[in-house]
A and B are shown apart, each in its own frame.
Chain A
């Protein structure tokens, strides 16, 4: 996603002059209004006991945070989030990159399939959830019919504790692999061809080229996609809402759904805000650590 090296003539003497403020100002002001206020509101909310039971939230300090530390349901959700995010993103990265390499062959007519593959990520997650619920319906869904047709026993997609999370990961991968694919593919198209030509002249095999040349060059794009997907997978709840509603037996309740459930279903707003803020903390720490080791803009590293 970045230039290979800073262009010559680059000056480090620029101070944020008027131009900078003119350009940045509106954006910062806008975000201050519409992003900062909600963040502070939620923070404050997480220190109260606002719920349907107590009409006006009283200040309870860190009680919500204390409660969630000892809430087994919180930790179940945390575990589910961890599993879902790591497996989904890993799967999507691998598949997305593989797809990018595959489409790099530029087979005839592949642009049609490329267009088709963009579809899944355009559909509202709730609709995706309902759609797959239909596909995986144990009584009349198409998927089970196909599986039974080849003589296999269809798994209990959304009904068994062991299977439900795998189903969720599968559907999420179906929906979001195209995102990774597009980003990596675009990067692939932009790579300068001379490096490859040189390597081929030198007699390097395809696998070697991939591992030592292509992959490192693609890294920025892959990382960008990975970070984005990780953040969104962590936050996503409407797919779960449409597909499995956190069940069965909470096996697909991630932190995001847990926060949603506490706020929306049980009306424990203070607690839900605390969970949400804990998630935010995790995300900030996670991405800071990640970006320190793999900067998104190598040309501008500190």
Chain B
């Protein structure tokens, strides 16, 4: 049973950062003062589940609007548990959940407007630098530290540190994500990285162990490839995850580092046209013969469908697809699938890209609703919600407790693997600049072209390098 422990969570120091924002937060002045005193009370442990001054119904009667992703099942999980929340706190919630592109558009419009129509906004981890770094979100340290505002069992330390660093922590002075102790967002509703899925039954029958290196991967693909089942699969289409999942995983686990320098120093140089870059792409080209016939048309959906209908023997993928794969309703291989961390070259840490989302409170909301918004945020990101999401929808949680709960692990054996992956995941450097999607698009186009045989790996990487440098120069990140 953990309470609002001091360990592992940022202290809101004497004066919470954020000058003018501070003066707007009438309510928060008291909280900040409390922040000081709770630090002083550091050693006291609050045995009860709720701190003495936390009143669930404090903001009863307020209506909160949440803008969040509709691409996963998160909004459903929220909708499921909403009646209970409203009964307990008297706060009503309206959820707007468009698809990703629409979400980003609406987010930008609301963040820049005079007053945001949404009190809570869900942002993609890749956009943290842009949206949080743009100064649009409220700093949350004071609220986190305030036992009158935060339920005693919320437990800040329970969030996976890598996830918190990826979406929640931002250093405004140096515009760096993950640095310092200022919190602007909370991981929610799901984090996630890349793991390795394989067909236990096929591997066992062939006497193979799950692949630990990329050579293993290729050997297994070759051995297991047949007319009914492809030896492996990957994103081959011109799709967002080609660059960020299949290529990037192979790239960093063979020693690659995507960028050198930093935007601030104007020497943010891509390292795509390197042996590691070309090699990673070549690893994909080499296993083309053992991939499904139409793999160059396979995006996210096709691969999940392919694996779930038993047509693929192994692949490296977002851990979020564990949901559909292990769901007996939608999958023919639910009981035949095993998971492990991704393969890596000897001596390299197996890891993939850090995915995930954050939730924050825009600065420009109606100040009267701030308290209720925070309350809704703690509910959305609380332990109960996380566990429910994992149990019901197999959504990747953001909290360690949700990954290690014995009941859940018994139900969903892939959880420890997913946690290991989430903890070691790598925040892709290009997400620090607004041109992230554009860079990604360029890479997907060129790599897809290489996969369909339109050019070789060397040319593809050279093209990407050249176009990236041009984009970075135009944007001023590279001299």
Consensus secondary structure, chain B interface: helix
Chain B residue numbers with a CB within 8 Å of A52 are 108, 130, 434
Q: Is the CB of B454 within 8 A of A161?
A: yes
Quick one: CB contact mask for B435-449 with A, threshold 8 Å, 1 for yes? 101100100010011
A248 sits at the interface (CB 8 A): yes
Residue of A nearest to B105 (CB): A264
Q: Is the CB of A159 within 8 A of B445?
A: no
A14 sits at the interface (CB 8 A): no
Q: How large is the interface on A (under 10, 10 to 19, 20 to 34, 35 or more residues)?
A: 20 to 34
B452 sits at the interface (CB 8 A): yes
Given A249-B238, A264-B101, A53:B296 Cβ within 8 A: no
Complex Cα distance, B130 from A52, in Å, reads 8
B112, B294, B438, B445: the one within 8 Å of A138 (CB): B294
Complex Cα distance, B251 from A227, in Å, reads 51
B48 sits at the interface (CB 8 A): no
Residue of B nearest to A268 (CB): B438
Residue of B nearest to A263 (CB): B105
Complex Cα distance, B475 from A267, in Å, reads 13
Residue of B nearest to A158 (CB): B297
Task: Name the interface residues of B307-326: CB closer than 8 Å to any CB of A.
Answer: 311
Name the distance in Å between B23's Cβ and chain A's nearest Cβ: 22
Complex Cα distance, B4 from A292, in Å, reads 77
Task: Name the interface residues of B205-243: CB closer than 8 Å to any CB of A.
Answer: 237-238
Q: Is the CB of A53 within 8 A of B475?
A: yes
Residue of A nearest to B134 (CB): A55
B104, B293, B433, B452: the one within 8 Å of A160 (CB): B452
A120 sits at the interface (CB 8 A): no
B423 sits at the interface (CB 8 A): no
B101, B297, B306: the one within 8 Å of A159 (CB): B297
Q: Is the CB of A265 within 8 A of B101?
A: yes
Complex Cα distance, B437 from A261, in Å, reads 10
Name the distance in Å between A270's Cβ and chain B's nearest Cβ: 13
B108, B306, B448: the one within 8 Å of A267 (CB): B108
Task: Name the interface residues of B86-136: CB closer than 8 Å to any CB of A.
Answer: 101, 104-105, 108, 112, 130, 134
Chain B residue numbers with a CB within 8 Å of A159 are 237, 294, 296-297, 452
Given A52-B108, A159-B296, A248:B437 Cβ within 8 A: no
B305 sits at the interface (CB 8 A): yes
Name the distance in Å between B105's Cβ and chain A's nearest Cβ: 6
Name the distance in Å between A278's Cβ and chain B's nearest Cβ: 19
B302 sits at the interface (CB 8 A): yes
A250 sits at the interface (CB 8 A): yes
Q: Is the CB of B302 within 8 A of A249?
A: no
Complex Cα distance, B101 from A160, in Å, reads 25
A139, A161, A250, A266: the one within 8 Å of B305 (CB): A139
A214 sits at the interface (CB 8 A): no
Chain B residue numbers with a CB within 8 Å of A266 are 435, 437-438, 441
Q: Is the CB of A249 within 8 A of B305?
A: no
Complex Cα distance, B124 from A52, in Å, reads 15
Complex Cα distance, B475 from A126, in Å, reads 33
Chain B residue numbers with a CB within 8 Å of A161 are 449, 452, 454
Name the distance in Å between B241's Cβ and chain A's nearest Cβ: 13
Name the distance in Å between B344's Cβ and chain A's nearest Cβ: 30
Complex Cα distance, B168 from A280, in Å, reads 43
Task: Name the interface residues of B343-389: CB closer than 8 Å to any CB of A.
Answer: none
Q: Is the CB of A156 within 8 A of B297?
A: yes
A51 sits at the interface (CB 8 A): yes
Complex Cα distance, B447 from A247, in Å, reads 13
Residue of A nearest to B296 (CB): A159
Chain A residue numbers with a CB within 8 Å of B452 are 159-161, 248-249
Quick one: CB contact mask for B400-437 with A, threshold 8 Å, 1 for yes? 00000000000000000000000000000000011101
Chain A residue numbers with a CB within 8 Å of B311 are 139
Complex Cα distance, B104 from A201, in Å, reads 68
Complex Cα distance, B306 from A158, in Å, reads 18
Q: Given known contacts A138-B293, A161-B452, what 7 new A-B pairs fall within 8 Å (CB)?
A: A51-B434, A52-B130, A53-B475, A156-B294, A159-B297, A247-B238, A249-B454
B: which residues have CB within 8 A of A?
101, 104-105, 108, 112, 130, 134, 237-238, 292-294, 296-297, 302, 305-306, 311, 433-435, 437-438, 441, 445, 448-449, 452, 454, 475
Between-chain CB contacts (< 8 Å), 22 pairs: A52-B130, A53-B475, A138-B293, A139-B294, A139-B305, A161-B449, A161-B452, A161-B454, A247-B237, A248-B296, A248-B448, A248-B452, A249-B448, A249-B452, A249-B454, A250-B445, A264-B101, A264-B105, A265-B441, A267-B104, A267-B108, A267-B434
Closest 5 A/B residue pairs (Cβ): A159-B297, A247-B238, A138-B294, A53-B434, A52-B434
